[in-house]
Amino acid sequence: MQKPRKRKQAELHPRPQSRTKPARATICLNKPTSDPYPTHPRPTPEECRAVLDDLLVLHGFPQEFAKYRRQRPTSSDDETHGFPKPEPLDGDAQESVLDGLVKTVLSQNTTEVNSLRAFDSLKSAFPTWEDVLSAESKCIENAIRCGGLAPTKASCIKNILSCLLEKKGKLCLEYLRDLSVGEIKAELSQFKGIGPKTVACVLMFHLQQDDFPVDTHVFEIAKAIGWVPALADRNKTYLHLNKKIPNELKFDLNCLLYTHGKLCRRCTKRVGKQQRKESHESSCPLLNYCKNSESETS
């Protein structure tokens, strides 16, 4: 008997009968949402700032996110903390929103290196999104195969492009820059294969909005340090953290938690092939938060 596919791949699996999602969804991204854990007091704004400062001392600001940091509005303490300046550097050309959405789709269930290779290969094979839309699915699959799940991701990308052309008459998402966060969520979440994490990543990285994506690394750390209840799921963690974390801290804290989750054995159960730099317990500044979390639940 064939085994069912893993749940973590669900965002990428479009159904053939329709290119847009049905009205009902797990999270109504286009409507105001309440905190699913209103009696859970953490994280406090002070704790968010403390964790950000601790991780910044340990890692510095992650260079892979520096170009996105430079595109964001500046704040009063950027220079104090050594964050990248908002002025773009050479080679920092702003990506289109559609580029960002496809990059995020390709990043699902693979490494950063492989997803970037897949995107570069796709753009090399098909210079325009019109070329991608008119190409055979098998050709798209071959171009992005190095990123894994090629048939699923190719189908998702083709669906996005087909739906966008049908509704807007052109393959462009720049109109999202003029919409509210709620309207942006409504527009993006209508595409099959696009879930809450993908929408949040596009909001934060490519539209410079204050949102807090919850990937596996962020989710596991949030549970380990008691920022959400032990039985929390990832969708409710996303809703809770977006209510609790101050907007001005969301981008930097998210980038640092993601980076720390990749490197620290103590803060994540996932042990990949990447060499982890911070493998000793004494080097992890979040251990005190983990201990505090354990003492609260004991």
Per-residue pLDDT reduced to its tens digit, 264-274: 877 655 444 44
Catalytic annotation on 250? no
Arithmetic mean of pLDDT, 279-285? 65
Catalytic residue among 197, 223, 250, 262: 197
The tokens for 239 are: 């809703």
Inter-CA distances, 267 with 287, 288, 291, Å: 8, 12, 12
Residue-level pLDDT at 12:
56
Per-residue pLDDT reduced to its tens digit, 225-250: 999 999 999 999 999 999 999 999 99
The tokens for 247 are: 């907007």
Position 279 confidence tier, pLDDT thresholds 50, 70, 90: very low
Residue-level pLDDT at 288:
85
- Res 281 pLDDT > 50: no
Residue-level pLDDT at 10:
46
Radius of gyration, CA atoms only, the chain: 19
φ, ψ for residue 20 (rounded to 5)? -120, 160
Higher pLDDT: 88 or 132? It is: 132
Other CB atoms within 10 Å distance of the CB of residue 107? 21
Arithmetic mean of pLDDT, 49-71? 95
- Res 275 pLDDT > 70: no
> Rounded to an integer, what distance in angstroms lies between the CA atom of residue 76 and that of residue 63?
21
Say which amino acid occupies 130. E
Which secondary-structure segment (H or E) carries 158?
Answer: helix 150-168
Higher pLDDT: 146 or 6? It is: 146
Residue-level pLDDT at 237:
98
Higher pLDDT: 91 or 171? It is: 171
Arithmetic mean of pLDDT, 67-96? 68
> Rounded to an integer, what distance in angstroms lies between the CA atom of residue 193 and that of residue 214?
17
Mean pLDDT of the chain: 85
Arithmetic mean of pLDDT, 185-213? 96
Residue-level pLDDT at 97:
97
Per-residue pLDDT reduced to its tens digit, 172-183: 999 999 999 999
